[in-house]
Amino acid sequence: MFDDEGQGAPWETSGGITAMSAAAHDTDSFGRMDQGFMINFRVANLDAMLAQLRAAGAEVDDKVETYEGMGSFGWAKDPEGNRFELWEPAAQTDP
């Protein structure tokens, strides 16, 4: 379910959309060159989740990125050093 640029098309589930994207094999987005993929978790409150992870001793990136219409993204590492992404979707407004 990928387009010509390797980006996945989202599909709707009971919890909201799910999206998959391919990345270049030499990307540094995943944190380590040997990490072949990154999991993205949808969260209801990004700031609260990042604070909870910090309090538990997880390595959490200071950077948070927000994109109009998409929402906010943050990153942390699991105990094995694998980077993962947290996504708080943008609030949906009625058209």
Contact 85, 35 (CB under 8 A): no
* Structural tokens at position 31: 């944190």
Question: How wide is the angle at C-alpha 3 spanned by C-alphas 36 and 19, nearest 5°?
Answer: 60
Stretch 20-47: mean pLDDT, rounded? 75
Residue bearing the bigger pLDDT, 78 or 29: 78
The pLDDT value recorded for residue 74 is: 96
Stretch 76-85: mean pLDDT, rounded? 90
Q: Domains in the chain and their CATH numbers?
A: 11-89 (3.10.180.10)
- pLDDT confidence bin for 1, thresholds 50/70/90: very low
- pLDDT confidence bin for 31, thresholds 50/70/90: low
pLDDT digits (tens, 9 = 90+) for 49-59: 999 999 999 99
